[in-house]
A = this chain, B = another copy of it.
Amino acid sequence: MKAAKKTAPSRTLGRPRSESSRVALLKAAYGFVKARPVGSISTVEIARKAGVSTATIYRWWPNKEALLLDAFLYKTDSAPLLKAKGSPLGSLREYVLQVGRSFTGESGIVAARLLAAIQDNATLRKEFLERVYSPRDKEFRAMVRAAIRQRQLPASVNVNVFLETIFGPLLLRLLLRQEPIDRDYVLTVFKQVVAAYRRAQ
């Protein structure tokens, strides 16, 4: 979970890492990502706002982007996916709505900036995919397969394409359009796509 830099030297010798500094940095970083373009955020001001030294940042994170990603996860992981309830398709619908909500307001801004950042930074991209995208994608795919097993969707459905068709429009609104990603919108998209695939051959 944490970005351990060195291979744990000796278990507990010397002064332990300051938890308060860690949290202060994550909060400060998140605050800046909310407020300003990622490119305009400097390590010095994050450190200053957190009441911490820049050296402390680099002792625990390999670079600025890694800190920003952790800052994002610090907020996101604290509100994890609600466990499935009801039918597979019903659960999936809830999750899509949740993604829609996270694409709205300030968390939407942060998400857009993070998606931007990973286009330019290979290691950040890898981290993001491993820690954010893949776990959710895996879970979503399992749900779709369960829906197929329970005959909520026909067996011919291509799982990847199906999911991409559902989430793609949300991503497009997030990154390109100013129109809202509200509950109505998400449900409309969800229904249409489900209808399309359900009635396919």
Contact = CB atoms under 8 A, between A and B. Distances in A.
Interface string A158-184: 101100110111111101110100000
Interface stretch (A67-75, A139-147, A187-195): A187-195
A121 B37 contact: yes
Nearest to A36: B120
Identical chains bound together, number? 4
Interface stretch (A3-11, A19-27, A110-118): A110-118
Interface in A97-136: 112-113, 115-117, 119-122, 129, 133
Interface residues of A, number: 41
A82 B39 CA distance: 37
A185 interface: yes
Contacts of A177: 164
A96 B38 CA distance: 32
A196 interface: yes
Contact of A119 (B113, B160, B167): B113
A38 B185 CA distance: 33
Interface of A: 37-40, 112-113, 115-117, 119-122, 129, 133, 158, 160-161, 164-165, 167-173, 175-177, 179, 185, 188-189, 192-193, 195-197, 199-200
